[in-house]
Structure 1
Amino acid sequence: MNMDKVIHIQKADSEVDEDINIHYMPCKIHSDGEAKVSQYFSPNITKDDKNGLLKASFRGYPLIGKAITLPKGYKGLVLQENNQSNIDKERKLFTKHVFKELVYWNWDKTPSKNDAFISALDWIDIAEAIHAPIGDENIAST
């Protein structure tokens, strides 16, 4: 049985919205349907001027957040699948939104480099350093 799948990501035909607020939430929602997020999630966000952290709440739970800018040369994409009939063979996703910044939230702790999401972003810089060509000036003589 061949389990290979092909995923195509295409630019949307219309203008892509780049003025969007992205929130990475620490929760699982067991639904694949659309949600009226802008109607039901417009948090009252306060900023702590001392440490730059953000505070809000979601369904009564306190959130601690941090604004994160994606690394230079990278963009985040919000993708939408228009036709799910070919889900077993081939999927076509279209770019709906593009973003360069997001707010990363935690329930019970301050966001830190120990969080999987933030450390994954750090991996981009590490991977570039590992795969960069090594010149003679980078080799230390022993």
Structure 2
Amino acid sequence: MAIHIQNGKRGINSNAGLTENIHSIPFNIHADCDADVSKYFYQSSENELKYASFRGYPLIGKEIKLPEGYKGVVLHETIRPSVETQDRKFYILHTFNKFTYWNWGKIPSPNDALVQAIDWIDIAEALHSPITE
């Protein structure tokens, strides 16, 4: 099985698809439709932290910036194959260079797996770059 990622209408190299409103939330919503998010997801900011609640549960968030030279993408798959061995096609909907990372009732910390993964990008680049004398 191969995975193909294709440029959407906006393209990965343009800033037209760049969005500032990306969130990584600690739960799944089993729906694939538009929603009036502001009606159900209220957020406020204090210092560098953001506070919100979803269905009465407290969330604490922090903005995470991707390392220089990297860009995040939001992908969409129009039709998922019925068999695992078939190729899959994803289209780029949006690009981003920062996102809000949310935790249930605790401040996001460097010990969180997602934060460590973002930090690992810089470490991996340093480990695998050529050594110059």
Same fold judged by TM-score > 0.5?
Answer: yes
| Equivalent residue, structure 2, for 1:7 | 3
Instruction: Supply the distance in 1 between the matched residues of 2:114 and 2:19 (Cα, whole angstroms).
Output: 22
Q: Indicate yes or no: 2:23 matched with 1:27.
A: no
Contact conserved, 1:20 with 1:97, CA < 8 A, in 2? no
Match of 1:64 in 2: 60
Matched length: 125
Distance (whole Å) between structure 1 residues aligned to residue 67 and residue 18 of structure 2 = 17
Which residue pairs with 1:55 in the alignment?
51
Shift of 1:45: 1.8
Q: Secondary structure at the match of 2:42?
A: coil
Deviation at 1:86, TM superposition (A): 5.7
CA RMSD of aligned residues (A): 1.7
Provide the C-alpha distance between the structure 2 equivalents of 1:87 and 1:124, rounded to a whole number of angstroms. Answer: 33
Is 1:130 aligned to residue 118 of structure 2?
A: no
Decide which structure has the larger Cα Rg and report it. Answer: 1
CA distance, structure 1, for counterparts of residue 100 and residue 83 of structure 2 = 31
Q: What TM-score, normalized by structure 2, do the two folds share?
A: 0.85
How far did residue 54 of structure 1 move?
A: 0.7
Whole-Å Cα distance in 1 between the matches of residues 45 and 32 of structure 2?
30
Residue 72 of structure 2: aligned partner: 76
Q: Using the TM superposition, give the Cα deviation of residue 59 of structure 1 relative to its aligned residue in structure 2, in angstroms.
A: 1.1
* 1:107 to 2:101 alignment: no
Deviation at 1:109, TM superposition (A): 1.2
2:14 counterpart residue number: none
1:91 maps onto 2:88 in alignment: yes
The amino acid of 2:64's aligned partner reads: I
Give the distance between the partners of 1:81 and 1:20, measured in 2 at CA: 22
Q: TM-score, normalization: structure 1?
A: 0.80
SS at match of 1:122: helix
Deviation at 1:20, TM superposition (A): 4.5
Per-residue deviation, residues 31-73 of structure 1 (Å, max 9, x unmatched): 3x51324x1x223221112xx1110111111110001111111
Any unmatched runs of 5+ in structure 2? 12-16
